[in-house]
Amino acid sequence: MQITVKLDLRKNDLQELPKGAFHHTPYLTHLNLQGSNIRSVREGAFRGLGRLVFLNLAHNNIDVLYQESFDGLSSLKQLLIDHNRVEEIQPGAFTQLGSLNLLSLTHNRLVYLPNMAFQGLLNIQWLKLSHNSLNNLATEAFASLFTLARLGLDNNELQFFPTQTMTRLVEVTRLEMSYNPMTYLGEETVSMPKLTHLYLDHMSLQDLSDTALALTPLLTHLDLSHNQLRSLDPVSGPKELSLLNLTGNPTYCNCHLRPLRVWAQTGQVRLLGVCAGPPHLSDEPLGAVEPADLRCRAREGLTKEELEEEEGAEEVGRAGSLVPPPRPRKNINCPESCDCEPDAQHATCEDGGHTKVPRGFPKNTSLLDLRGNNFHNIPPDSFRGVAGVVVSLHLDRCKIREIEAGAFRGMTSLLYLYLSENDLTSLETDTFAGAPHITYLHLDGNRLTQFPSAATLAPMPSLLELHLEGNAISKLAPANLLSSVRLLRALYLTNNTIDSVAAKALHPAPHLETLHLEGNRLTEVPSKVFGNVPRLQELHLSGNPIRWVGAKAFVPIAQSLKHLYLEGTGLAKMSKDSLAGLGSGLLTLSLGGNQLEAVPSLGSLTGLQEVNLTDNPLLCDCNLLPLRKWMDNLSHTVSAICGQPAELQGQSVKDVPVFQTCPGDEPRPSKPPVRAKGAAKAPKKIKPKPSRLKGGKPKPSKPKPTPVDSPKPSVRPKAAKKNRKTKETQ
Decide if pLDDT at 478 tops 50. yes
CATH T-level fold of 547-665+698-714: 3.80.10
Residues 6+ apart with CB under 8 A from 667: none
User: Which tens digit of pLDDT belongs to each residue from 514-543?
Assistant: 999 999 999 999 999 999 999 999 999 999
Residue 298's pLDDT band (cuts 50, 70, 90): low
Decide if pLDDT at 81 tops 70. yes
Contact between residue 48 and residue 72 where contact means Cβ atoms under 8 Å apart: yes
Decide if pLDDT at 65 tops 50. yes
DSSP 658: G
pLDDT value for 671: 38
What is d(CA 142, CA 164) in angstroms, rounded to the nearest whole number?
10
Q: With H, G, I as helix, E, B as strand and everything else as coil, classify residue 589.
A: strand
For strand 207-208 and strand 221-223, is the pairing parallel, antiparallel, or unpaired?
Answer: unpaired
What is d(CA 536, CA 480) in angstroms, rounded to the nearest whole number?
17
What is d(CA 694, CA 645) in angstroms, rounded to the nearest whole number?
13
Mean pLDDT across 593-610:
90
Torsion of CA 38, 44, 48, 51, to 10 degrees: 60
Residue 483's pLDDT band (cuts 50, 70, 90): very high
b or e along 372-411 (b: 16 or more beta carbons within 10 Å of the residue's beta carbon)? bbebebbeeebbebbbebbbbbbbbbbebbbbeebbbbbb
Residues 6+ apart with CB under 8 A from 60: 33, 34, 35, 36, 37, 38, 39, 83, 84
Single-letter code of the amino acid located at 328: P
Q: With H, G, I as helix, E, B as strand and everything else as coil, classify residue 429.
A: coil
Decide if pLDDT at 728 tops 90. no
Torsion of CA 638, 642, 643, 644, to 10 degrees: 150
**In the chain, which segments carry CATH 3.80.10.10?**
1-174, 182-295, 547-665+698-714
209-223, 228-242, 336-350, 678-692: which has the minimum mean pLDDT? 678-692
pLDDT value for 89: 86
Q: What is the DSSP string of 30-70?
A: EEE-TTS---EE-TTTTTT-TT--EEE--SS---EE-TTTT
Residues 6+ apart with CB under 8 A from 213: 189, 190, 198, 219, 222, 235, 236, 237, 238
CATH T-level fold of 182-295: 3.80.10
Decide if pLDDT at 718 tops 70. no
| Rg from Cα positions in the chain | 30
Q: How many CB atoms lie within 10 A of CB 80?
A: 21
Sign of CA dihedral 500, 504, 508, 513: positive
Decide if pLDDT at 18 tops 80. yes
Best CA proximity match to 138, nearest among 157, 114, 104, 159? 114
Q: Between 346 and 533, whose confidence is greater?
A: 533
What is d(CA 658, CA 687) in angstroms, rounded to the nearest whole number?
11
pLDDT value for 100: 96
Decide if pLDDT at 214 tops 80. yes
Best CA proximity match to 337, nearest among 326, 348, 323? 348
Decide if pLDDT at 701 tops 90. no
b or e along 587-607 (b: 16 or more beta carbons within 10 Å of the residue's beta carbon)? bbbbbbbbebbbbbbbbebbb
Decide if pLDDT at 98 tops 70. yes
Contact between residue 688 and residue 657 where contact means Cβ atoms under 8 Å apart: no
CA distances from 631 to 368, 448, 565, 613, 634 (A): 53, 45, 20, 12, 5
User: Which tens digit of pLDDT belongs to each residue from 388-447?
Assistant: 989 889 999 999 999 999 999 999 989 889 999 999 999 999 999 999 999 889 999 999
What is d(CA 53, CA 38) in angstroms, rounded to the nearest whole number?
20
What is d(CA 318, CA 334) in angstroms, rounded to the nearest whole number?
41
Residue 331's pLDDT band (cuts 50, 70, 90): low
Best CA proximity match to 129, nearest among 93, 155, 94, 163? 155
What is d(CA 183, CA 327) in angstroms, rounded to the nearest whole number?
19
1-10, 97-106, 282-291, 557-566: which has the minimum mean pLDDT? 1-10
pLDDT value for 84: 93
What is d(CA 633, CA 190) in angstroms, rounded to the nearest whole number?
54
Q: Between 445 and 698, whose confidence is greater?
A: 445
Best CA proximity match to 642, nearest among 622, 665, 616? 616
pLDDT value for 342: 78
List alpha helices for 514-600, DSSP H: none
The CATH architecture to which 1-174 belongs is Alpha-Beta Horseshoe (3.80)
Sign of CA dihedral 496, 502, 507, 513: positive
Best CA proximity match to 295, nearest among 340, 338, 252? 252
CA distances from 346 to 153, 350, 567, 631 (A): 20, 12, 42, 54
Best CA proximity match to 105, nearest among 153, 138, 147? 153
How many percent of the chain have pLDDT more than 90? 60
Q: Find the length of the chain.
A: 730
Q: How many CB atoms lie within 10 A of CB 64?
A: 16
What is d(CA 534, CA 653) in angstroms, rounded to the nearest whole number?
36
Instruction: Tell me: cis bond preceding 380? Omega within 30 of 0 counts.
Output: no
What is d(CA 165, CA 158) in angstroms, rounded to the nearest whole number?
13
52 conformational bin, left if phi > 0, alpha if psi -120 to 50, beta if neither: beta
Single-letter code of the amino acid located at 114: P
